Structure 1
Amino acid sequence: MGVRSRLPTAIRNGAEWARRFARTAPGVLSAVVVGLVALSVISGLVCANQLSEKLTRRDTVLTHSEPLANAAQRLYVALSAADATASSAFLSGNVESPDVRTRYRQALADAAAALAEATTGASDQQTRDIVANISADLPTYTGLVEAARANNRQGLPVGSAYLRQASALMQNSVLPDAERLQKNRLTHLRDDQRDISTLPLLSVILLLVLLLAFVAGSVVLLRHTNRRINLGVGTAAGATVLALLWIVIASIAATGVIDTGSDGATARFETLSRIRILAQQARTEETLQLIIRGDINDSENRFGTKVNELSDHLTTVTDANSPAATAFSTWQAGHNTEVKAYQANDYNGAVTQAIGGAPGSSATRFAALDDALRTELDTTRQQVRDGVDGAGGAFQLSQFGTLLLLIAAAAATAGGIWPRLKEFL
């Protein structure tokens, strides 16, 4: 009982001693050194953590975000290619060639592989809904295509109705879902790129606060020691300035390398993806209009709308003499030849122009356009990856460097104030 009664008294006495000590010069200097050392260490740990996160984000983009965005683009193209190839197979006659059949199956296999890759590790509800929709629609689509193929082999006109129904499902449901997935993946890619290049504000704020604390500490030291400059505190402030400059310069360098602006590599990749999608949509329209065997004015209007948009986008990412621009012009010329043949009641000639293997056919020229666009996409994709890698490289070793600088600042602060403190002890 006696011990318990003495404990509060001891605590009160200790608190009173601490208050009296805090009013003395040694107490003030002790508080200054402890506060500056603690703030320096905390700032160093925060800087190291934020800068490490940027390097981790760089690795995430290169191994996850960017490959998934590319896979989503390939998914759309593969699905569109399957639809266009199914139409070409139908136009080729009662029994399609083995080559056309192989291309159709390969397009579906590519779509399945791209869908699996584009949704790897995805846990958000939107992606799960998209995957569920595409997974449910694709078997229906392939069933309708097979029904069209079976009726076409027997010469039954109902086959074209099945094919139009299949294409409508692809164009109105499957492809919009694939486009949503692509936009989702590109949004994630841009967010990750932005996280890499933006200034780590918390680190910068803490370093600025630390610099102000050094200034305030210097004023306190001046009042109690009559020394204008404390070498240790001055050295610590210099180390803090170096850490701040390191972070700012690295962030500026990363922003310049990653180039996420409207003319940057990521924007060009998005535009080229859109161009390739528009080309696939127009190619599908080009083959479907011959299956209708009626008035193609509405189909031509849809084709023209897609082609005009494609042309507008193409001029922003390539010059007039590029392989893609040249291939686009020749494909347009091939399409015009096809339409003229159809309007002249030369249906067989129009079909041959649309799906034939001659160098001047629309099919051959479209294949050249798609190859040129794929090459442009591959080149731009590598530029995106190089930019991300370079942006991460701008922060290389920064987490260790800033931490060491701020630990050195803490040590310099303690080393600079301790001799002054000893004068009072």
Structure 2
Amino acid sequence: MSLTTLPEQRGAVRPSFSGTPGRLRLTAIGAVLAVLVSAVLGAVALKMRSDALGRADSSASHLLLLQGVQTNLVVADADATNAFLKGGLEPQEQRLGYIKAMKAVSNDLVIAAQHSSADAKALGEANAVLNRYSGFVGSARANNRQGFSVGASYLTSANALLSDPDDKDDVSTGHRAIDLIEARVAADTQAVDDAYADAGFARWLLLLAAVVGIGGLLYAQVTLSRQSHRYLNLPIVASTVVLVVTLGGAAVLMAAAQSKANDVRSESLRPALALSASRVAAFTAKSTESLTLIKQGSATPDDIPWNTEYNKALSLVDGDSKTQLEAYKAQHDKINQLDVDGSWRSAVNLATSESDTSANALFLKYDDSTEKALRKAKDDTAKGLSSTGDLLLPVAVLLLLVGLFCAAAAWRGVSFRLNEYR
């Protein structure tokens, strides 16, 4: 094509967009583009909310899985440390509880590590630390059964591999397992928050879609009315009504999905996270109780390490679970006071007793009640988040089809007026 033909081409096109027919053609093109852009923006908004809620579901599920790993770790440690106090052959129930908890930790770590490359790296390192932990516990058991005092050192070393709040800056022992897991828990928590924020942003995109589409059609209607002195153009009116109804339906659906997701977050996810955190702190306190007795002569009147974890656990529960934890505290205070007063053997007997009013029995009631509540909260979270955005993608496809229909109707509406000039 030679450059000399360009002015001729411009001259051939210019008449098509001049005068009243030209303005009508521009109006038709503007209306069609407005409707198509509106449909695309609306579909993107619906998909954005669907994807965001999907990410929230995935991150929340992974978060709860990791908190389950944390809980099982401290459950295992609490069983190991309390069983160690009895000396010799530990109670079979506690030994089986330790094995069950560690098996669950191992299985769940494999699943959790598949979530992302960052999880694979951190949880792989945590698994390596736990292998060392199991080795120390095994050595502690073997020495304890033979009555060798070195078993206590092995158990103390094992516990320090989980989390040592007094020695977090000492890198000579490497990272602690629970600290590595907590870092991924924090990442999942942020991911859930980000997903909910993205889901909230989608409503503004849908509002923009409505402004563009409906505004474009109304402008076309006003322009035609001025040109033809006819107040209504039925095809454009019909396309406007259909687009308004579809976008309105999409807005209602998005709002319902977000409302349901918000309800799941406040009524199921947050309680589940609180219960998990409470259990982690409570079992850590139980381990601390046993470890203090294992380290004979280390008990103090203020009992700061134990009280720190206990207060954290108590602040995150209410109702029967709180009452049960308070009842356990009353028994623990007796144990600690006996140890402080020098009655170490009596303190150990009270700490390992299985009577109905013992510290172990009262703590078991808290364990059972929080485990049941946590299981329900987890199930409600999984069911709730997995179904919040089920209809969003089908409606996004419908909106695109409606956009094509409305664009065709708008073009036809303007064509009726153009035919009057032929």
Where on the TM-score scale, by shorter chain, does this alignment land: which range?
A: 0.7 to 0.9
Q: Contact (CA 8 Å) 2:279, 2:367: kept in 1 or not?
A: yes
1:408 matched to 2:400: no
Q: Contact (CA 8 Å) 2:16, 2:22: kept in 1 or not?
A: yes
Q: TM-score, normalised by structure 2?
A: 0.87
1:24 matched to 2:27: no
Shift of 1:196: 4.2
Q: What CA distance in whole angstroms lies between the structure 2 residues aligned with 1:197 and 1:251?
A: 10
The residue type paired with residue 370 of structure 1 is: D
1:34-90 alpha-carbon deviations (Å, 9 max, x no partner): 23223322322342343245445545555x333312210111011112221221232
Q: What CA distance in whole angstroms lies between the structure 2 residues aligned with 1:371 and 1:296?
A: 28
Task: Name the structure 1 match of 2:244.
Answer: 241
Task: Name the structure 1 match of 2:262.
Answer: 259
Q: Contact (CA 8 Å) 1:80, 1:175: kept in 2 or not?
A: no
Q: What CA distance in whole angstroms lies between the structure 2 residues aligned with 1:352 and 1:394?
A: 60
Task: Name the structure 1 match of 2:289.
Answer: 286
Deviates more, 1:415-424 or 1:294-303: 294-303
Q: Contact (CA 8 Å) 2:335, 2:351: kept in 1 or not?
A: yes
Question: Which runs of structure 2 are paired with 1:33-112 in the superposition (5 Å)?
Answer: 33-58=28-53, 61-62=56-57, 64-112=58-106
1:330 counterpart (322, 327, 330): 327
Task: Name the structure 2 match of 1:149.
Answer: 141
2:346 counterpart (345, 349, 352): 349
Task: Name the structure 2 match of 1:308.
Answer: 311
Question: Which runs of structure 2 are paired with 1:159-170 in the superposition (5 Å)?
Answer: 159-170=151-162
The residue type paired with residue 329 of structure 2 is: Q
1:280-307 alpha-carbon deviations (Å, 9 max, x no partner): 1111111111101103117821111221
Q: Contact (CA 8 Å) 2:265, 2:381: kept in 1 or not?
A: no
Task: Name the structure 2 match of 1:225.
Answer: 228
CA RMSD after TM alignment: 2.7
Deviates more, 1:364-373 or 1:253-262: 253-262
The residue type paired with residue 206 of structure 2 is: S
Change (3 A) 1:110 1:299: farther
Q: What CA distance in whole angstroms lies between the structure 2 residues aligned with 1:24 and 1:395?
A: 44
Deviates more, 1:145-154 or 1:47-56: 47-56
Shift of 1:198: 4.8
Dislocated runs of 4+, deviation >6 Å: none
Shift of 1:123: 2.1
Q: Contact (CA 8 Å) 1:354, 1:363: kept in 2 or not?
A: yes
Change (3 A) 1:117 1:99: same
Q: What CA distance in whole angstroms lies between the structure 1 residues aligned with 2:386 and 2:69?
A: 25
Q: Contact (CA 8 Å) 2:39, 2:209: kept in 1 or not?
A: no
Task: Name the structure 1 match of 2:128.
Answer: 136
Q: Contact (CA 8 Å) 1:251, 1:394: kept in 2 or not?
A: no
Q: What CA distance in whole angstroms lies between the structure 2 residues aligned with 1:385 and 1:142?
A: 32
Change (3 A) 1:198 1:367: farther
Q: What CA distance in whole angstroms lies between the structure 1 residues aligned with 2:240 and 2:132?
A: 69
Shift of 1:152: 2.1
Shift of 1:130: 1.9
Q: What CA distance in whole angstroms lies between the structure 2 residues aligned with 1:112 and 1:382?
A: 22
Task: Name the structure 2 match of 1:122.
Answer: 116
Secondary structure of the residue aligned to 1:358 is coil
Shift of 1:397: 4.2
The residue type paired with residue 73 of structure 1 is: Q
Change (3 A) 1:231 1:12: same
Q: What CA distance in whole angstroms lies between the structure 2 residues aligned with 1:290 and 1:123?
A: 41
Change (3 A) 1:237 1:383: same
Q: What CA distance in whole angstroms lies between the structure 2 residues aligned with 1:416 and 1:353?
A: 88
Shift of 1:355: 2.8
Q: TM-score, normalised by structure 1?
A: 0.87
Change (3 A) 1:299 1:181: farther
1:225-273 alpha-carbon deviations (Å, 9 max, x no partner): 2333322222222223223322332233223222269954322222222
Secondary structure of the residue aligned to 2:81 is helix
Change (3 A) 1:128 1:59: closer
1:15 matched to 2:10: yes
The residue type paired with residue 400 of structure 2 is: L
The residue type paired with residue 229 of structure 1 is: L
Change (3 A) 1:165 1:74: same
Q: What CA distance in whole angstroms lies between the structure 1 residues aligned with 2:52 and 2:130?
A: 34
